Structure formats: structure tokens, C-alpha cells
Amino acid sequence: MNFSMFLQHFTNALGLGSMYGLIAIGYTMVYGILRLINFAHGDIFMLGAYFVFFATIQYKIPWALGLVIAVLGATACGLLVDRIAYRPLRDAPRISALISAIGVSFFIENASIVAFTGVPRNVIQPKLLMEPFALGTVRLIPLSLMVPVISFVLAAGLLWVIYRTKQGLAMRSISHDIETTRLMGVSVDKTIALTFAIGSALAAVAGIMWALRYPKVEPLMGMMPGFKAFIAAVFGGVGSVAGAMLGGLSLGFIEIMSVAFFPKLSGYRDAFAFVLLIVILLVKPTGLLGEKLEDKI
């Protein structure tokens, strides 16, 4: 493999990994606060992709506006999932919410098959994003640079919110002690809703970029990226936003590079992620940047 080929793979890995990272942030934030694996998260990712498809390709709304509509639409769906499927179970045993999450995920997937049909649809990419240009010896399209840049900017913005704003302080506090946080005047439901909104918006952005990069949408497209992003969240350390990004990137690099260097293994591409999950759970269950999660009192 020559250097420019390596750079090509590197860019691919960076793009894929940063999308995993964006999705993983939603898992990690919700888990950090509610100790709930939001199985429907991958489906919000899918909805974001579908919404942008319908808005821009079906209804010919300009891209800029279509993006906003898709992100807002998917965010609203994420909030709705919390409101209907999780909030009534806040005081119930955690396993109830988990089962509810699995149910919601199946519901969204099947409802999407009914509503959108199961047939994959092609996404027509805006020309602007596809015009190849040369960077040294590597030929790139703007899209493959945009994906990691947008992902990192969003992740950095989120870190700023979490560490520099009042709402971020409330989120960090709720994840450790809900009752005390309420005593400080924080509305737990609103803060949790904000968490779902942020996670869903990021998943929608990832879904849109995914639909542009692998130019099609289908109702089950959120499953595999969702599982992998979940693994990325565990790998990076559940509860840590930086960890989610790091985990996503690691996963992207493992996936792309193993196939690049050992093309014979390409059939096992998806298996690498799950092997990684098993290894991390055996060796370092708290993940790369995670703190030890004590059970809630």
C-alpha cells in the first residue's frame, strides 16, 4: 500500500469514525443520566436521513432548509420517544425502561417500513460536495472532509455546553444525584428532555451525512451504525462525551484499516466491532475515559 492510498483510507476512517462518534454521544449522554440504553437512538439517525431525503429530493426544498427541517424533525421524534416511552417509567425498575426502549426501536423501524416502504431509495448528492480535488497526491471530495469537520465542531460545541453553561452543569449533576440536583431548583424532566434533544439532533446530523456518503436510505439503516456507535460509547467510557468521540474514531479506524491491510478479512468487517465490545467488557469495562459508575441510591 502506498502513502496516498493510506491517506485515502485514513480519510475514510476519519469520516466513518466521526459519524460513529456523533451517534455514540447520544447513547453516552442518555446512559450517563438515566442508566438507560436508548435502543431507539439508531432509528432517530435513520429518521434524520429519511427526513432529509424527503425534504430535498422528494419535495425539492433547498438543501440548507431541508437540513434544518430534517434535524428539527428527528429531534422532535427523539423528544417524543422520551416523553411517551421513557418518562412514564422514570420511577419503574430500570429493566422496564430498557424493554420499552427495545419496543420503541422495533416500532419505529416497522412503522418506517410501512410509511416509507422497505425499498432503499437513492440519495442524489449535491454536486458541490462531490467535485473531486487534489490534496497533494490524494484526490478527495469535499464531502469526505466535511464529515469529520462538522462532527468535531459539533462535539466541541457540546463539550462547551456541558462544561461552560448552567444547563451543562445540571446535566453533569443529574447524572450523579437526581434528588440533590432537584433541590437546587433544576427541573429533571426538562434537563433530560434537553439531553434527548441534543443526542437526537447529533444523530440526525450523522444520519444525514451517512445518507450523503453512502447515498441511499432504508428503514433499517440505523441498526448497524446504532449498534456500533453503542459499542463506541462503551469503548470510550459510558458517560463521557469525549470518550464517545474517541471510541467512534477508534472503531472507524479499526474497521477501515483492518479491511485495508487485510482485504481477505473484509467479510468480517462488522464482526470487529463486536469482538472489540467483548474485549473491552472483559479487560476494561469502564472504557477508555469512563469513570466508575456507581449504582444509583
- The residues that touch another protein, with contacts defined as CB under 8 A, are 166, 169-170, 172-173, 176-177, 179-187, 291
Please give the C-alpha separations between residue 289 and each of 136, 175, 244, 285, 292, in angstroms, as whole numbers. Answer: 35, 16, 9, 11, 10
Task: Give CA–CA dist 291/83, Å, rounded.
Answer: 28
Please give the C-alpha separations between residue 33 and each of 27, 84, 151, 236, in angstroms, as whole numbers. Answer: 10, 18, 23, 16
Q: β-pairing, 133-135 with 138-140?
A: antiparallel
Smallest gap from residue 84 Cβ to another protein (A): 21
Nearer to another protein, 57 or 162 (CB): 162
All three cell numbers of 6, joined, read: 493510506
Nearer to another protein, 32 or 73 (CB): 32
Q: Is 60 left (phi over 0), alpha (psi -120 to 50) or beta?
A: left
Nearer to another protein, 83 or 216 (CB): 83
Smallest gap from residue 159 Cβ to another protein (A): 15
Nearer to another protein, 142 or 168 (CB): 168
Task: Give CA–CA dist 73/71, Å, rounded.
Answer: 5
Smallest gap from residue 134 Cβ to another protein (A): 47
Smallest gap from residue 31 Cβ to another protein (A): 16
Nearer to another protein, 168 or 215 (CB): 168
Q: Cβ atoms within 10 A of the Cβ of 25, count? A: 33
Nearer to another protein, 115 or 184 (CB): 184
Smallest gap from residue 155 Cβ to another protein (A): 20
Task: Give CA–CA dist 26/141, Å, rounded.
Answer: 28
**Secondary structure letter of residue 214 according to DSSP:** S
Whether 35 contacts 92, CB under 8 Å? no
Nearer to another protein, 181 or 195 (CB): 181
Task: Give CA–CA dist 74/204, Å, rounded.
Answer: 6
DSSP H or E stretch at residue 134: strand 133-135
Smallest gap from residue 187 Cβ to another protein (A): 5
Nearer to another protein, 141 or 293 (CB): 293
Smallest gap from residue 164 Cβ to another protein (A): 11
Query: Helices (H) and strands (E) in the chain — how many of each?
Result: 12, 4
Smallest gap from residue 168 Cβ to another protein (A): 10
Task: Give CA–CA dist 182/90, Å, rounded.
Answer: 15
